[in-house]
Amino acid sequence: MAAFVIYGVLVWWLAFAWRGSWRAWAAPIAGLLGIVLVAWLHVKLSEWTNGRIYLRALQVLLYPYGVLVTAVGLFIAAIPATPVGRRDGLCHACRYDLRGRTERDAVCPECGARVLEPGERGTRRREADRSA
């Protein structure tokens, strides 16, 4: 049973790590194809053994599991990879209240992150590390 948990977490981790590229969307789709392959092999195993090996409970649990892994993976892939400036006056990184700051304050006094204007997109941490 731990294999199913590890499989789901792996698909979700890949979707998260690859956010902002087409690979983030490919991870949950590939995860779904893997689950469909397991379901197909389960049906074939029943045919090959003349019905001696067939667990109805596996089929019943496998379909909702496939929907769960795929839906959560697609949701994770849709999360923006870059920080976006908030309209409510809070820091995008730590949610510190930045209302009342002067325009020359370019960093958050709480966490040190660069202050983004509302709707402005920042850079991903990995991209910022590469350029420095």
45 and 86 share a domain? no
pLDDT at 113: 80
pLDDT at 94: 84
Structural domain boundaries enclosing 35:
2-78
Q: Per-residue pLDDT tens for 46-71?
A: 888 887 777 777 788 889 999 999 99
What is the value of pTM for the model shown?
Answer: 0.66
Of the candidates 129, 125, 130, 93, the one whose C-alpha atom is nearest the C-alpha of residue 108 is 93
Of the candidates 26, 55, 21, the one whose C-alpha atom is nearest the C-alpha of residue 41 is 55
* Percentage above 70 pLDDT, the chain: 83
pLDDT at 8: 95
- pLDDT < 50: residue spans in the chain: none
68 and 115 share a domain? no
Domain final residue pick, 61, 78, 95:
78
